[in-house]
């Protein structure tokens, strides 16, 4: 067994940390304040090949493995969770179904520009009345000659207000629950497709999140992904598994940032004549945080390694997401506690990580849904 990162991973880790600190950190304040994503980052990351790190270099990707993507998630989240989330949808749900199942024309028109950062993608599954129970979506796509007509509403869509295209889940055959769902590429400017509103969120304010509406929205039949109707869920299954492992990196990066801020604050804050880091109560909390971060990181790397080996990791991917997202909540709560009253003030950055990190037990499968997956995979 070898638990070390390779030389290549270490070089990348240093590179992406420097990039996040010098190129992303200065943009955070304005993005958070104005609830606007700094779009230039798509192109910047695309030019470097790291917008979609796991796609082949010939397509403009990084040709890297899952561990590299985890390192990137960790470093970007250490700086800002919202910016990280917007960028990472691009390497996952909004491109992977096209990469795996798309036609040559779809790849040429959508995928390749998306990998280079010339087109921004979104993935639209969730609806106002359908979240965890994704098979209950109501959006319909009805064939009409050489077109499909889409009707429905999608909510909470990351990058929805700024996307050039969305991969949209819609029923082509509602009599086949789950199985009758197909995926379509709907481009900005398609008649009947609009972003009806930008949503105002508690955290992750640098992500632009929206509600997408499809009103008799006509798309040509060649926008169907996979060349045949149905099977939409199977097309996103691998991407969901991969995304859950990535959450391990996202949670670890957020936890690392909270830890670093809290250690610094505890060194600076003086009460009863000494820095509060000298109190055993503070040191014990920090020691436990450091231990949990190490476990989060090493378990995530292990499952990413298993994924890279082509092993079936549905259960482990859910375990990563459940464990890291839940452990993060305790780390954030302790960080806030050590910050005392100042932590509750907007001028101290810890509150942002607390608000941002709260999301991680909810998106891409809540903690309860991860428990259901794990129990099912264990045959319970």
Q: In Å, what is the CA distance from 124 to each residue of 98, 142, 172, 182, 190?
A: 14, 18, 16, 12, 15
208 binds ligand FAD (CB under 6 A): no
With H, G, I as helix, E, B as strand and everything else as coil, classify residue 121. Answer: strand
Footprint on residues 80-139 left by ligand FAD (CB under 6 A): 123-126, 131-132
Q: Does residue 322 bind ligand FAD (CB under 6 A)?
A: no
CB of residue 134 vs ligand FAD: minimum separation in angstroms? Answer: 7
Class of residue 59 by CB neighbours under 10 A (exposed 0-12, middle 13-18, buried 19+) = middle
What is the separation of C-alpha 151 from the centre of its chain, rounded to a whole number of angstroms? 26
Q: Measured from the CB of residue 265, what is the shortest distance to ligand FAD in angstroms?
A: 27
CA distance 134 to 155: 12
Among 12, 156, 214, 353, binds ligand FAD (CB under 6 A): 156
Q: Tell me how far, at minimum, the Cβ of 126 lies from ligand FAD, in Å.
A: 3
The residue number whose beta carbon is nearest to ligand FAD equals 131
* Distance set, CA 329 to CA 300, 333, 370 (Å): 17, 6, 16
Among 139, 204, 239, 300, binds ligand FAD (CB under 6 A): 204
DSSP structural state of residue 132: S
Q: 207 Cβ partners below 8 Å, 6+ apart?
A: 37, 82, 83, 85, 86, 158, 159, 201
Of the candidate spans 18-26, 156-164, 254-262, 316-324, the one that interacts with ligand FAD by CB under 6 A turns out to be: 156-164
Pair 135, 153: CB distance under 8 Å: no
Query: Where in 359-378 is the site for ligand FAD (CB under 6 A)?
Result: 359, 362-364, 366, 368-369
Identify whether 364 is a catalytic site residue: yes
Interface with ligand FAD includes 289 (CB under 6 A)?
A: no
Among 32, 211, 364, 368, the active-site one is 364
Compare residues 214 and 259 and give the one whose CB is closer to ligand FAD: 214
From the CB of residue 239, how many other CB atoms can be counted at a distance below 10 Å?
21
Query: Is residue 158 close enough to count as binding ligand FAD by CB under 6 A?
Result: yes
What is the DSSP secondary structure assignment for residue 346, as one 8-state letter? T
Is 157 an interacting residue with respect to ligand FAD (CB under 6 A)? yes
Does 209 sit near ligand FAD (CB under 6 A)?
yes
Instruction: State the catalytic residues.
Output: 364
Binding site for ligand FAD (CB under 6 A): 123-126, 131-132, 156-158, 201, 204, 209, 359, 362-364, 366, 368-369
């Amino acid at each position: 067994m070898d638990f070390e990162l390779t030389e290549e991973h270490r070089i990348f880790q240093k590179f992406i940390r420097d990039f996040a600190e010098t190129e992303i950190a200065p943009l955070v304040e304005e993005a958070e304040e104005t609830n606007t994503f700094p779009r230039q980052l798509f192109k910047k990351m695309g030019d470097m090949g790291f917008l979609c790190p796991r796609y082949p270099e010939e397509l403009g990707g990084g040709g890297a493995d899952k561990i590299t993507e985890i390192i990137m998630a960790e470093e970007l989240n250490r700086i800002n969770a919202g910016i990280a989330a917007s960028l990472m949808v691009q390497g996952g749900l909004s491109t992977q179904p096209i990469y795996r199942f798309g036609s040559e024309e779809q790849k040429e028109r959508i995928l390749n520009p998306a990998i280079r950062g010339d087109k921004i993608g979104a993935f639209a599954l969730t609806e106002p009345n359908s979240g965890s129970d994704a098979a209950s979506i109501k959006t319909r796509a009805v064939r009409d000659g050489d077109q499909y007509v889409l009707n429905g509403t999608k909510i909470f869509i990351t990058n929805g207000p700024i996307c050039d295209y969305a991969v949209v889940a819609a029923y082509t055959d509602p009599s086949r629950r789950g199985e009758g769902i197909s995926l379509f590429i709907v481009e900005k400017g398609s008649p009947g497709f609009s972003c009806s509103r930008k949503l105002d969120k508690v955290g992750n304010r640098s992500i632009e999140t929206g509600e997408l509406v499809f009103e008799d929205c006509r798309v040509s039949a060649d926008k169907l992904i996979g060349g045949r109707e149905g099977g939409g869920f199977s097309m996103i299954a691998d991407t969901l598994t991969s995304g859950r492992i990535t959450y391990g990196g996202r949670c670890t990066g957020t936890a690392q940032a909270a830890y670093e801020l809290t250690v610094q604050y505890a060194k600076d804050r003086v009460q009863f004549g000494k820095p509060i880091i000298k109190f055993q109560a503070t040191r014990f909390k920090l020691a436990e945080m450091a231990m949990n971060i190490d476990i989060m990181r090493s378990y995530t790397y292990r499952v990413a390694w298993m994924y890279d080996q082509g092993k079936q990791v549905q259960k482990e991917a859910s375990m990563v997401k459940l464990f890291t997202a839940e452990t993060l909540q305790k780390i954030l709560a302790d960080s806030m506690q050590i910050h005392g009253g100042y932590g509750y003030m907007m001028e101290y950055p810890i509150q942002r990580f607390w608000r941002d990190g709260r999301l991680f037990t909810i998106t891409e499968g809540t903690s309860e849904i991860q428990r259901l997956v794990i129990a099912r995979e264990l045959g319970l």
